[in-house]
Amino acid sequence: MREHSIAVVFGTRPEVVKLAPVVWALGPAARTIHTGQHYAPALADTLMAELGLDPPTLRLTVGGSSRGTQLGEAIARLDQAFAAEPPDVVVVQGDTTSALAAALAANARAIPLVHVEAGLRSYDRAMPEEHNRIVADHLADLCCAPTDTSRAHLAAEGISGARVVVTGNTVVDAAARMLPDETERAAILERFGLTHDAFVLSTFHRPENVDDDARLQVILRELDALPLPVLLPLHPRTKARLDASGSDALGRVQAVEPLGYRDFLALARECAFLVSDSGGVQEEASIVKRPVLVVRASTERPEVLGTFAELVPPGRSIGELGRAWAEDLTAIHARLATLPTPYGDGHAGVRTVDAIATLST
C-alpha cells in the first residue's frame, strides 16, 4: 500500500482505541482523520498519544452540536477532504455518528469502504447506534466481523461471501498492548486510594441514562448504596448533566476526571466488578476477567451475556445484583478466570489490514 492511501476515520474514544491496532498495522499507509465528535482532551489528543498514535493527519471540529448537525457537518467536511485527496479506501469502526458520516461520504465518492466491528445487532430500534451500524454495514465493501455471531447477523441481511471476514475484535489487540503489569497496577490503585477486589468501577454516558435526570438520580443512588466504594470517571456528557441539574446526588461515589486508557484497564482488572452502559466495557470486562452489570435494556454483544455481563434494564436493581455479586466475589472471579474472551486472539488489526489489501490492489 502506498503512503497515506488508507483514510482511517474516528471521532470518539472507543473508535480511537479500536482503530489504533489497524493504524499500527497500516504504518505509513494510514491517513488518520479525527472528526472532533469527542473533543475533550482526555477523550481525544491525550488518548491518541497514550496509544502511540501521531496527531491526526486531518482534524475536523464537529463536536458539541446536535446529532443531526454533527452528521451533516461531518459528511460535508469529509466529502471535501475525500475530493481534495481521494484515498484508496476509507476505514470506519462501530456505530457512532462519525462512522456513519464517513461511510456516507465514502459512498458518495465511490471510495471502497471497510467497516471494522461489523455485524453487531441489538435489535433495539430505540438506539441511534443500531441505525448507524446497519447503514454502515450495508454500505461497506468489506465488513470485518468480530465474531461468528456477527457474521451470522450479516448473512441474515444478505451480506456474505467476500464482503465479510471474521477478524476478532481489535479491542483485544489494544488491551493486550496497553494493560499495565501487576506492579504498575498496584501503583495506580494507590494513586486512587483503592484496594484490589474491594471497589466498583463505573461509567455512564448513554443519553437514556444521563439525559433523563430522574433516571440518573436513581443510578447514582443505587451506586451509592453498594457495599463497596465506587469510582466513577465522569464522561463530559455525564458531568454536564450533573452540573446543569445542580445535583449533589453522588453521595459516597468518588467522581473523577476521564481516565487514560492504561489507568482504566488497570482499574478494571483490579476492581470487584464494573457497572456501565458502555458497549466497549463489556468487551474489556471479558479481557480483564471481571463481571460487568450492563445498565441498558439491550446489548449488541450477546457473546458475553451470562458469563461476563448481565443486563440491568430499567426496573431492575443495580443494588440488588451488585450486593449479590459482592457476597460471592471469590467464586465469580475464579470462574471468569477460566473463560477466554470471545473476541479473539489479539491479531484482529493485522487480519483487518490483510483484508483491506484485497480492496486496494
Residue of 131, 205, 235, 347 with catalytic role:
205
How far apart CA 229 and CA 263 sit, in angstroms, is: 17
H helices of the chain, where?
13-26, 45-50, 67-84, 97-108, 128-139, 148-156, 170-178, 182-192, 207-210, 213-224, 236-245, 261-270, 279-288, 318-326, 329-337, 348-357
Question: Phi/psi of residue 169, each to 5°?
Answer: -105, 130
At 173 the three-state DSSP class reads helix
C-alpha cell at 235: 464522561
As a residue count, the chain comes to 361
Angle at the Cα of 20 (from 166 to 230), degrees rounded to 5? 100
Question: Phi/psi of residue 297, each to 5°?
Answer: -80, -20
Distance from the first to the final alpha carbon of the chain? 8
How far apart CA 266 and CA 258 sit, in angstroms, is: 14
Return the bridge partners of 30, or none: 6
Using a 10 angstrom Cβ sphere, with 0-12 exposed, 13-18 middle and 19 or more buried, the burial of residue 246 is exposed
Q: Is 205 a catalytic residue?
A: yes
Q: List, in order, residues 6 or more apart from 117 with CB less than 8 Å away.
A: 18, 93, 94, 95, 144, 146, 150, 169, 170
**The residue to which cell 476492581 is assigned:** 271
Q: Are the C-beta atoms of 307 and 290 separated by less than 8 Å?
A: no
Q: What H or E segment, with its residue span, contains residue 6?
A: strand 6-10
Sheet holding 230-233, edge to edge: 254-256, 230-233, 200-203, 273-276, 292-294, 309-311
Question: Catalytic residue positions?
Answer: 205
